[in-house]
Each structure stands twice: as C-alpha cells, then as structure tokens.
Structure 1
Amino acid sequence: MSDLATRILATVRQDVQSMHGYAIQPSAGLVKLDAMENPFRLPAELQCELGERLGRVAINRYPTSCVAEVIAALGTHIGLPAGCKLMLGNGSDELISLLALACDRPGNSILAPLPGFVMYEMSARLQGLPFVGVPLTADFELDAEAMLAAIEQHRPAITYLAYPNNPTANLWDDAAIARIVGAVAAQGSGLVVIDEAYQPFASRSWLPRLAQHPQLLVMRTLSKFGLAGVRLGYLVGAVALIDEIDKVRPPYNISALNAEATLFALEHADEYARQAVLLKAERARLQSALKATPGAQPFPSEANMILVRVPDAKRAFAGLKARGVLVKNVEGLHPLLANCLRLTVGTPEENTLLIDAMKESL
C-alpha cells in the first residue's frame, strides 16, 4: 500500500471511503435528456444584454447588497407569504446540507419516502444522522400509514416531501401530505420540508399554506426555472425558523455573478414562463407518444421529466445512447424502479429524436 493510500485510510472518515460519489454521465455529442435541465437558452439579444450587465459587476468585492436584492426580488416574484422569510443556497443541494447541519442534535434523524432525491439521505449520512426511508406504494404514491408509523417511531427532525417527486415526477395526494404535516406538528418537534424543485411545471404548491403551519418549510431551486448553471436555491419559512437555519450558512455562499444573473432572469420572468408553457405542452406530447409505443409504460408527470417502465432498462438505455440520446437509467436506485428510465422533456426537436429512438430501441 502506498504512503498516500495509508494516509487516506488513516485520515478520511471510513463511511466516506465506503460511499460512492454523485455520478454525472458524460454527455458530449449526445442529446442530453438525463438531468431535468431547461433545454432553452436565452434569445440572442438577451444574451448580449446579460453579458454586458455581468461585465459591470464588481467582482473585486464580496457579494453583499446584490444578495439582498435577490432576496427581495425573489420575495416579490413568489408572493412571499406574510410572516415568512427566505434564505438563499448554492442550489437546493447546499440548503439540504445546511438543514442537516442545523438540526444535528443527539437522537435526531431525517426521514423521506423512497425512491426519492438521493441528497436527502446523503446529507444525513455525511452529517452523521440516521436516515429513515419509507417506501412508496407500487404506483409511486405516498404510503400515508407507513409514513405516520415511521414518524411516530423515529420522531424525525426533518421529514422531506418532494412535490413533485424525483425521479417519479408525480404530485402526491394533498390529503396524505396534510396528515403527515399534522403528525409532525402533534409531536411537538421536527420540521417538514416540501421540496418544490419542479414548481414551474406543477399544478399545485404548498407555499400559500406556509403561514398555517409554522413547522413547514418550502424549498425551491431556479435550476428548473432555467438557471441550472447559476446554482441558486431558496428556502422559505417562518421568520424565526429561517433566522436560526441561516446562522449555519456560509457568509458569501452566493457569488455576485450568480446574484446578478438571477436578478436579470427575474426581470425577464416572462421569457422563462413562455419556456415552461412550451415544455408542459411537449411533456403532454411525449406522454401520448410513449403510451402509444408498445413496451413503454409512462407514469403521470407534473415535472419536466417522465418516468417510463420498459421491458429491459439496460437494453433500452443502451439503444437510446447508440442513437445519440442520453437519458437516465434509474432502475438501480430502488426496487420499485425496476426497468425504469427517467426522460427529461427537451425541445420539440429533441423530443422527436427521443420518441423515434425509443421506438427503435424497444
């Protein structure tokens, strides 16, 4: 064993050495439909305007006033509920890590339905908190009774509910969510985080209900809005609660360039709204085409992705890739996802390529 290998073995946490890093697929030369990105770039005139604006940013200074401006602009954009406040994160990934850090008390745990977003469990384990996963039903709905039993048994500090869920793309029943929110309220401790990463494509939101539930937080990202490269997420909740969580946030976690790009995007929110409308129409077209494809079983979606079950996920994934289309094979994430692929909704041209490649691959 080399000196470096010995040093790593003796220095780095054993659980970290045993983990797998977050895998990102190489996508060069492929139609990239694997990461739920908005496929549209800004029109040329807005690209030029943004470039000139970013050129004027004082990158020699730490970001302070510009971040406050983003918080104010986002509050206006979402219609911040009375008595609530928002904090920013370097994507929602950082917010998930900060929540685990802020709630790391002896005996605490983090709970979420499975299959779900992998960062909930990863953040818990990296923080040394137990993670409790509760399987969804066979049709990817919340198992309310199992969730309530797990909450009663483990009394989690954080319960995550992705709305819509990743990778299943569906919106769960609001009555089931209300029972879970109520159960956490009744135990006198713990928070419920509604993760609305795909909100631009969903028909419902829990944001208007925040004022009724002081234990509730709503988390969103601008990645699906169309700013995946900017890396900006935000967490909304009661003022006193956000003030506590914000204490563990690094002081300059949002760059001045990212803040300025966000302000620019919010000033042109109508362009991104137009893109979302087109993507929802394309989602419906993809759903119809997949339903008409022998061997494909698409599931309902309120996100910019579609989960589809095929006879052989590995073969279909390889067939799509050979035809220049990259999707995500998610069958290894959980037994409920057997032979499932996750398809991002792309441009009309990309979706046509996807439909044709899927028919040929099956």
Structure 2
Amino acid sequence: MDERLTQALARIRPDVRATKAYPVQSSTGLIKLDTMENPFRLPAELQAELGRRLGQVAINRYPAERTRELAAALATHAGMPEGCAITLGNGSDEIITMLSMAVSQPGAVILSPLPSFVMYEISARYQGLRFVGVPLTADFELDEAAMLAAMAEHQPALIYLASPNNPTANLWDEAVIERIVAAAPGLVVMDEAYQPFAERNAMGLLQRHPHVLVMRTMSKFGLAGVRIGYLIGRAALVAEIDKLRPPFNVGVLNAEAGLFALEHAQVYEAQARVLREQREWLQVELKKLTGVQAYPSQGNMILARVADAAACFERMKARGVLVKNVSAMHPMLANCLRLTVGTPEENQAMLAALKESLQ
C-alpha cells in the first residue's frame, strides 16, 4: 500500500476502521422484501401531479419556508400535544445521531433492550458513549426486572424503546413500558417507525412524562426514498436537540414530496390498511407450515424462526425472493428470518418460495 495512503488511514479512528459498513443487499431482479418498505407506488395521476409540483420547486435556493411548513404539517398529522415542538431529520438515523450528540458527556450511557434497532448502539459508540443492551425475554418481551436493574446501575442518559420493535415486530406490554419510563433517570425515546401498522401510539405517554420523546419516520408511511424523520417532545427539550440539526438537512424536493404525501394521506392510509390485512393473512399461512415459528407482529414485517435460516435465505433468493437473515444480529435471533409484508402478489410469491426452501 502507498505510504502516504497508509499514513492517511492511520488518522482514521481505530474503532471506525475495525467496524463494517451498514450492509445493504442488492435486490436487482428480485422481489424485495428485506427492508420493510411500503411496496406500493402512487397512482399514475398522483405521480404526474407530484412531478409537476417538484418541477416548480426552486432548487437553486436553500430549504427554508417549505421545511417549516412540513414540520407543522407533520405535527398536525401526528397529533402533537400542546406544549410540545418538533424537529426534522434526514431519516430517523440522523435524529438518532443528534440524540447521541445531545447527551454526549463523560461517562454517559445509552441503554436499549436487545435485540432492537442496530443504529442505537452504532450511533452511541461513534459518539464515544457506552452502550448497554438489556436482553429481552425468550418471547421477545421486555424483561422489566432486568431493565430496572440496569437503569439503577448505569443511570442511562438516554433509553430507546422501539414500539413496535425492530426486528421482532412486537409491541411490548404497555404497563411495563409505563413503569420503565417512570423510573428512567434521563431521556426516553419512543421509536415509532412502524406506527402506521400498530394498534397504539405513544402520544399519551409523551403527555404524561416530560422526559419522553417520540421519534417517527415517513419511510414506513411510504416515502423511504425521501428520507424524512421527525422528533416530538416538550418544547424545551426539542429546542436543545434542534441546535444539533445540520442547517438545511431536509432538501427542498424532499420537503415538497413530504407535504404532497400528507395532502394525500388517505392514499397512504389505504395502503397501510392493505398491508395490515396482508400481515394477518401471512400470519395464518405461516402457522400452517411445519418447521416455521412466526412471532406476533404489529409492524409491516414478521419474524420467523426456521431450522436453518442461512440455507433458507439462499434458497429463497435463488427463487427470486429477497428477505433478511437476521440470525447474526443477536444470539436470541438464531435461525430467524425477517419477512417484510409486501403486495398480495409479492406475499404469495414469498410464501411459495419459503415453502419450497423448507424442503
């Protein structure tokens, strides 16, 4: 290797060099059911209307008023309580980075149940923070005693509770969440990325507890390619976190697309309804399969345990269906596949590929 390049690489943090980049699978030519996207596109007439809207945007200017209008529209859409405020991120990932930066003080700890969304730990470590993971129970419920003990010992500055959780897809016991929140010594972030598919939300929790923040995204709403996340909480808290938001972090085209989507929210709500119905159909069909344990889901994905996840994944891929093998994410996920709920046609194909791959 060139000596100057070696010297340059030596300036990169050792922990960064030792890690691997977040993996994104190639889906070319495959039915893509690995990343919990909304599989539906807009109807042709709305695509044309959106195209006209985007064509009129002043892309020569930095984002300003329209981004503020998007924030206000999202606050209304989410039912933001009185006394609260909202800030936007380039997807939830950027908000997670902002939160890590906000609590980044010597000795600070970020805590989350495990398995859960991997970016909580990754972001904490990149900010030089200690991450504490508390294993879920065998059926992927919160271990209340272990959570309370870890909170008492480590005094976390920030706790993440994904509702529904990713990758397990379940909603945790509401009473247990309430007690954990009440005992939390710092901030509690309720990550509601999959809220369009769940039977409850955390806005009531936010109203009762001033240290709670609710994080959501438009990705599962149907705009994964637009990259808009948002955070709602008491105005004083959000004001501090907003200081860490990069200026102009949501582009004008993204903001316009987000506003357009909210103006046509009924279209996306209808799509979510179909996905919820398909999720329940898949649950019934998966229970009929020998050698498959499908776990309860309140998201747009289903966690399923099989005898050999690696082999099953490869066989399904060979049959043109891409799912996610999550076995390596945590020991509790051994031989687990995460199946995204797709269109009725995609789900039929996925189920057929899974049946053939189990043999």
TM-score interval for Structure 1 and Structure 2 normalised by the shorter chain: over 0.9
CA 8–137 in structure 1, closer or farther in 2 if over 3 Å, else same: farther
In structure 1, the partner of 2:13 is: 13
TM (normalized to structure 2)? 0.99
Decide whether the 8 Å contact of 2:113 with 2:133 is kept in 1. yes
Q: TM (normalized to structure 1)? A: 0.98
d(CA) in 2 for partners of 1:8, 1:287: 52
Query: Conserved in 2, the CA contact under 8 Å of 1:164 and 1:302?
Result: yes
Q: Deviations over 1:122-143 (max 9, x none)?
A: 0000000000010001110000
Query: Does the alignment pair 1:316 with 2:312?
Result: yes
Whether 1:305 aligns to 2:301 is yes
Partner of 1:34: 34
Which residue in 2 is equivalent to 1:144?
Answer: 144
- Contact 2:178/2:205, CA 8 A, preserved across alignment: no
Q: Which residue of the partner structure matches residue 97 of structure 1?
A: 97
Matches within 5 A, 1:129-278: 129-184=129-184, 187=185, 190-278=186-274
**Deviations 1:205-231, CA, capped at 9 Å, x for gaps:** 111331210100000000000000000
AA aligned opposite 1:112: S
Q: Indicate if the aligned counterparts of 1:38 and 1:225 stay in contact, CA closer than 8 A.
A: yes
CA distance in 1, matches of 2:142, 2:331: 16
The residue number in structure 2 matching 1:352 is 348
CA contact (8 A) 1:304 1:344 kept: yes
| CA distance, structure 2, for counterparts of residue 39 and residue 58 of structure 1 | 30
What is the letter of the counterpart of residue 228 of structure 1? A
Instruction: List structure 1 runs of 4+ shifted beyond 4 angstroms.
Output: none
Name the SS for the 1:12 alignment partner: coil
SS in structure 1 opposite 2:111? strand
AA aligned to 2:146 is A
Separation of aligned partners in 1, 2:190 and 2:327:
25
Q: Which amino acid aligns with 1:105?
A: Q
Give 1:126's aligned residue: 126
SS in 1 for 2:258: helix
Contact 1:83 1:211 in 2 (8 A): no
CA distance in 1, matches of 2:218, 2:67: 15
Q: CA deviation at 1:345?
A: 0.2
CA distance in 1 between partners of 2:289 and 2:315 (Å)? 15
* 2:289 pairs with 1:293: yes
Inter-partner Cα distance in structure 2 for 1:7 and 1:183: 48
Q: Secondary structure at the match of 1:248?
A: coil
Q: How many residues align?
A: 358
Unaligned runs of 5+ in 1: none
Q: Which residue of 1 aligns with 2:278?
A: 282
Whether the 8 Å CA contact 1:90–1:253 is kept in 2: the answer is yes
* 1:5 CA drift (Å): 4.4
| Deviation readout 1:270-316 (Å, 9 max, x if unpaired) | 00000000000000111111110111110000000000000110111
Structure 1 vs Structure 2 CA RMSD: 0.8
C-alpha distance in 1 between matches for 2:189 and 2:111: 10
SS in 2 for 1:332: helix
Per-residue deviation, residues 106-149 of structure 1 (Å, max 9, x unmatched)? 11110001111000000000000000010001110000110101
2:87 aligned residue: 87
1:198-252 deviation digits (Å, cap 9, x = unpaired): 0000001111331210100000000000000000000000000000000011111
* Cα distance between partner residues in 2 of 1:342 and 1:10: 38
Task: Give the % identical residues.
Answer: 64
SS of 2:134's partner is strand
- Partner secondary structure for residue 95 of structure 2: helix
CA shift, 1:4, in A, is 4.7
1:75 deviation in Å?
A: 1.4
Residue 74 (structure 1) aligns with: 74
Partners in 1 of 2:159 and 2:329 — Cα distance? 20
Q: Is the 8 A contact 2:109 2:154 kept in 1?
A: yes
CA 1:4–1:329 in 2, change beyond 3 Å: closer, same or farther? farther
d(CA) in 1 for partners of 2:281 and 2:312?
Answer: 20
CA deviation map 1:308-341 (0-9, x unaligned):
0001101110110010000000000001001000
Residue type at the aligned position of 2:214: V
Which stretches in structure 2 are left out of the alignment for 5+ residues? none
Structure 2 CA distance, aligned partners of 1:234 and 1:43? 26
Code of the aligned partner of 1:90: N
1:357 CA drift (Å):
0.7
User: CA separation in 2, counterparts of 1:73 and 1:209?
Assistant: 21
**Partner of 2:72: helix, strand, or coil?**
helix
